[in-house]
Structure 1
Amino acid sequence: MKRILTLAMSSWLAISSAQAAEKPNILFIFADDMAVNTIRSLGNTEVKTPNLDRLVNGGTVFTHAYNSGAWHGAVCVASRTMLQTGLQVWDAKNTESKLDTEFLQKKRFWPQLLEKQGYETWFAGKWHVGSSSGKDKLAKGAFNHTANIRAGMPRPKGKSGYNRPKSKDDHGWKPWDKSNEGFWRGGKHWSEVLADDGEEFIAQAAKSDKPFFMMLAFNAPHDPRQAPKEYCDMYPYDKIQVPENFLPEYPHEICSNRNLRDERLAPFPRTPYAIQVHRSEYYALISHMDAQIGRILDALIKSGKADNTYIIFTADHGLACGEHGLMGKQNMFDHSVRVPWVIVGPDIPKAKKISSPIYLQDVMATTLEIGGAEKPGHVRFESVLPHIKGEGKVRETIYGAYMDKQRMVTTQKHKLIRYPQIDVELLFDLEKDPHEISDVSKDPAYAAVLKDMQKRLAEQMKDLGDPLAKN
């Protein structure tokens, strides 16, 4: 009898191991401060991104992926908290101080849900979830393996990276100067360290029969915009276009608050020259990150795991970098709330673009479906796989918020931005005005649209527990 039980147990373990091995792997590559219009194959002919182009051409792109908001100036904190918990913005805010007890200990974090499905989980790079004292604890507790858990941004020495360049004679800051630290702190550029970690993780995971979920989170292209000189030389500032929606200064201080750290990067008022310099450095950092992504993709191919791996690339939010007179992401314009969103893998169509609006945090629910996990009831985001199959229900409205200062709803045709504290509303016709230059809120021809968008905003605020929602 004992022998029969032993044989039965051995057979069960063998079957379980085989089933686990059949599950697809998941590689999630995450950028920071990367606007939607910063990949060459998606229309930006200024920037060079050959490896991201590999993903775009080899998979499906969601062209309208949004971050839904933030409760303080570090927009990435809110985005990443929503990503790891599946909670929408205001529920995520209310749970932030309880992430240890409500998520880590109850095994409700994203990687923990996949671990229950037999996945070995790996993390390196920028985490930025939870209180400053507990961030590393949360990351190390949520993932099986971690390396080089990074802070919110690579801080440069002093203030030399701010309020510059004032003129063409202002040459104090050099992105490749390692003495400024920032991305160079520790002696090696942080993007290169992350690629090192990714190569090592993949090599280790290749030795296991267990499927892996791997999150590699770049700090790039967040400022300080530092890259090796050869990448900076790829982008002479005088060859960089000034954005169509450039302004010397945004007219509503609720957005252009000079005390915001991001906004202090360039001088006030903005000049075309300063914006060209910042954008050239931004592109250099993106191209350098792209090269490290190439190393990670090559390591995956070398491991023999590529054919059974889903790869998803996106970012935590976008960035203005001179558009609308702004430098940061604390605003509701598309350059700051939209991000690239690409998925590659088994049965994923190649070179396909889908315009159905999604939230960037839909990546969590997507990977749960890939991994065979049931989506928990608290997760407010949706898998994108039905959209890829042509079966998904299109979100008619996307919501956005920034503290108690800004609110947004957008459809595929229009966007409404509200500044509650100063009683200002802006309405944009996105089909006619994709750069959001002309406010049509006072145009009688858009009166019905304005009323509809106001109703949509009120409904979204109520549904999501917005603290400014009216009863």
Structure 2
Amino acid sequence: MGPIPVLRRWPVAAVAALLTIAAGGFTASAAPEDERPNVVLILADDLDAATTPVWQAMPRTAALIRDRGMEFTDGFAPMPICCAARASILTGEYGHNTGVLTNSGPVGGFETFRAGGNESHTVATALHDAGYRTGMAGKYLNGLEDDPGHIPPGWDDWNAGVDNFLYSGYNYTLNENGALVKYGLAPADYETDVVGAKSRKFITDSAASGQPFFWLASSTSPHFPIPPAPRHIPETRPTASPRSPNYQEPDVSDKPSWLVDTATARAATITATNDADYTNRLGALKSLDEMVAGIVETLARTGELDNTYLVFTSDNGYSLGAHRLTQKMAPYEESMRVPLAIAGPTVPTGRSDAMALSIDLAPTVLDWAGIPAPDRMDGRSLTGLLAGDTRWRTDFLAEYGGPGADGRSGIAQEQVPGTDSPLIYALDMPSWSGVRNQRYLYVRWYERERPLDAREYELYDLQTDPYQLTNLIKTPEGRSAHADVVDQMDRRLTDLLTCAGPTCH
């Protein structure tokens, strides 16, 4: 075997103890090092896999994680907004079970997550209780700024952003294990680089301790309006966003009424901002790519790489002008499709088209650590797929809780202070629930705003219409022609909206 596994098996302390025994001065045996695997989860923010050329923009990440392991080409975020998505990643549960379906209000945000008791059963608490050293840096849950001193249970090294300046990349504050530390405007304060430095330190310290570890590297890149790092600004040239067939969709008359009514204003916003936003996103991904490379280099230098699972993904996608939409939250492909690549011990190289969801990450991590997943987890461990098992889900539930009665519960919670604008409210959308299988997407709009008989519906055939341009049930003739499909999908949606644990599988 090579030198890295030898160093992993024989830490310095153990070697010193053996030398002492050989000298006759000490007879007690040294405690064996814990050989359970480490896990590093690298979480991007608002990085879609439908339009953005993720792997071209992040060649180091492609080489170090995707090409060394398994890429899930059908990775999805079923709750496609920041807080709801991150709640599902931490717990392995759908939004209707965490209670978090948006960023704030009675069905969203950090306070709802905490009040529902979710912080007592996260992937961090399970690993910590099992003897893992746990840590994170960057973005936690929207609303943490209302209780900046809070440190959730289960985290040994806590470095969470406590204000929305985190999205700007500068002038933010981190809660560093109870101390509120202010970062300024210097190049060294650039948020992705700070998260990267804390990642490298945590890995180095954990490797020296001999304790298995879990680390969450949670930069806000490439979430609007984070710019490229200063060193990348000169090479970041203006770039037009991809013009997919549904970009600035010309005819939205078959879409729900909220989009029909706001289509002109949304299109104007995209014309004014989308290309600049896309350019910044590509520039910001350069430093995120460097952060990933630094993490992998540190794992190799400390002898931990061969015993570490690396996961790269995003909390949710991003519309980038599809259907005249600028943000996420939508049930469409651009909002829900996320990159997902996993490398590590026993992970084969290749690609999988299995529907892998963000709710699957927590049970997968626990599986790697040898910890049984609680029955309450709605997701399933991906380890079976990685081992070649072909038995897997053929559909999944998706949900969004809406912006709330005052319009502030959704993406308004992601505004950088000082940039508040009424425009942000117009960019949100009503609540919805939907079910997506291997052929169809079925969506029920106004779930929380209207009674059942006043809701609006969409059905798309993804085989013939992958860009979701034609709502098959907008007209009475369409509803009649697809009545059987709608009945089947609606019954499945009703079942999934009340599922919990194994019944979600």
Partner-residue secondary structure (3-state), 2:371: coil
Displacement of 1:38: 6.2
Aligned equivalent of 2:484: 448
Letter in 1 for 2:140: W
Deviation of 1:448 (Å):
3.4
The answer to whether the 8 Å contact 1:39/1:48 transfers is: no
Q: Report the equivalent of 1:83.
A: 89
The one-letter code matched in structure 2 to 1:402 is: Y
1:419 corresponds to which of 434, 445, 451: 445
| Map 1:66-145 → 2, pairs under 5 A | 66-69=76-79, 75-93=81-99, 97=112, 99=114, 102-104=117-119, 107-128=120-141, 132-134=145-147, 136-139=149-152, 141-145=153-157
Q: Distance in 1 between matches of 2:445 and 2:249?
A: 20
Q: How much has 1:233 moved relative to structure 2?
A: 4.9
* SS of corresponding position for 2:319: coil
**Structure-2 change in CA distance of 1:240 and 1:376 (3 Å):** closer
Over residues 328-377 of structure 1, what are the superposed CA-to-partner deviations in whole Å (9 max), with x where a residue is unaligned? 11211111112111110011011x11111122121110010100111112
Count of paired positions: 416
Deviations for 1:136-192, whole angstroms, at most 9, x for unmatched residues? 5234x3211123545456355xxxxxxxxxxxxxxxxxx9xx7999x9845321001
When the two structures are superposed, what TM-score results if normalisation uses the length of structure 1? Answer: 0.78
Corresponding residue number in structure 2 for 1:434: 466
1:341 matched to 2:340? The reply is yes
Q: Per the alignment, in what secondary structure is the counterpart of residue 341 of structure 2?
A: strand
Deviation digits for residues 49-94 of structure 1 (CA, Å, limit 9, x no counterpart):
4324431111111222222227xxxx21112222223332122117
Ranges in structure 1 where 5+ consecutive residues have no aligned partner: 1-9, 157-174, 466-471
Query: What letter corresponds to residue 127 of structure 2 in structure 1?
Result: L
In the TM superposition, what whole-angstrom CA distance separates every residue of 1:203-257 from its partner, at most 9, and x where no partner exists? 1112111111111111111111311355355453355432321127866463589
Match in the other structure for 2:396: 398
2:44 alignment partner, one of 24, 28, 31:
31
Instruction: Specify the alignment match of 2:289 in structure 1.
Output: 290
What CA distance in whole angstroms lies between the structure 1 residues aligned with 2:97 and 2:371?
A: 22
In 1, Cα distance between equivalents of 2:360 and 2:191: 27
Distance in 1 (CA, whole Å) between partners of 2:113 and 2:238 is: 46
Report the AA paired with residue 82 of structure 1. Answer: S
Compared CA separation, residues 292 and 325, structure 1 to 2 (3 A):
same
Could you report, residue by residue, the CA deviation over 1:12-67 in whole angstroms, capped at 9, with x for unpaired residues? 995xx53x62111111111111112367476xx5x354324431111111222222
Aligned to 2:194: 193
* SS state at 2:268 partner: coil
Query: Aligned with 1:339: secondary structure?
Result: coil
User: Which residue of 54, 67, 88 corresponds with 1:57?
Assistant: 67
Residue 419 and residue 199 in structure 1: after superposition, are their counterparts in 2 closer, same or farther (change >3 A)?
same
- Local SS of the residue matching 2:297: helix
Tell me: CA distance 1:425–1:137, structure 2 relative to 1, closer, same or farther (3 Å): same
Describe the shift of the 1:155–1:366 C-alpha distance in structure 2 as closer, same or farther (beyond 3 A): closer
Change (3 A) 1:58 1:138: same
| Correspondence list, 1:167-182, <5 A | none
Letter aligned with residue 311 of structure 1: L
Q: Are the aligned partners of 1:81 and 1:130 in contact in 2 as well (CA < 8 Å)?
A: no
Match of 1:366?
Answer: 364
- 8 Å CA contact 1:99–1:130 kept in 2: the answer is no
- Residue 464 of structure 1 and its aligned partner are, at CA, apart by 5.6
| Residues 368 and 151 (structure 1), Cα distance of their counterparts in 2 relative to 1, 3 Å cut | farther
Partner of 2:303: 304
Aligned partners of 1:31 and 1:196: how far apart in 2? Answer: 16
Structure 2 residues not aligned, in runs of 5+: 1-25, 101-106, 174-181, 403-430
CA pair 392-132 structure 1, distance change in 2 beyond 3 A:
farther
C-alpha change, 1:103 and 1:417, in structure 2 (3 Å) is closer
Match of 2:373 among 372, 375, 385: 375
Equivalent residue in structure 1 for 2:498, among 457, 462, 465: 462
Assess, with a 3 A threshold, how the Cα gap between structure 1 residues 130 and 116 changes in structure 2: closer, same or farther: farther
Give the letter for the 2:490 counterpart: Q
1:390-446: CA deviations, max 9, x gaps?
225311221111116212110112111221446322211212222222222354664
* TM-score in terms of structure 2 length: 0.73
Cα gap change, 1:153/1:59 in structure 2, threshold over 3 Å: closer, same or farther?
farther
Distance 1:241-1:102 versus aligned 2 partners, 3 A rule: closer
**Matched-pair identity in %:** 21
> SS of 2:322's equivalent?
coil
Point out the more displaced range, 115-124 or 340-349.
115-124
Other-structure match for 1:332 = 331
- Name the SS for the 1:361 alignment partner: helix
The 1:13–1:64 alpha-carbon spacing in structure 2 relative to 1, beyond 3 Å, is farther
Cα distance in structure 2, aligned partners of 1:12 and 1:69: 54
Give 1:281's aligned residue: 280
In structure 1, how many angstroms separate the alpha carbons of the residues matched to 2:27 and 2:309? 29
CA contact (8 A) 1:428 1:436 kept: yes
- Please give the alpha-carbon distance, in whole angstroms, between the structure 1 residues aligned to 2:227 and 2:336: 23
Q: Choose 249-258 or 451-460, whichever is displaced more.
A: 249-258
Post-superposition Cα deviations, 1:89-143, rounded to whole Å, max 9, x if no partner, equal 1221179547378355xx523112112222111111111166544465234x321
Q: Distance in 2 between matches of 1:40 and 1:54?
A: 17
Q: Secondary structure at the match of 1:398?
A: strand
Alignment partner of 2:208: what SS? coil
CA contact (8 A) 2:318 2:326 kept: yes
Do the aligned partners of residues 314 and 153 (structure 1) sit closer, same or farther apart at CA in structure 2, a change above 3 Å counting? farther
The secondary structure found in structure 2 opposite 1:36 is: coil
In 1: Cα distance, 2:471 partner to 2:84 partner: 28
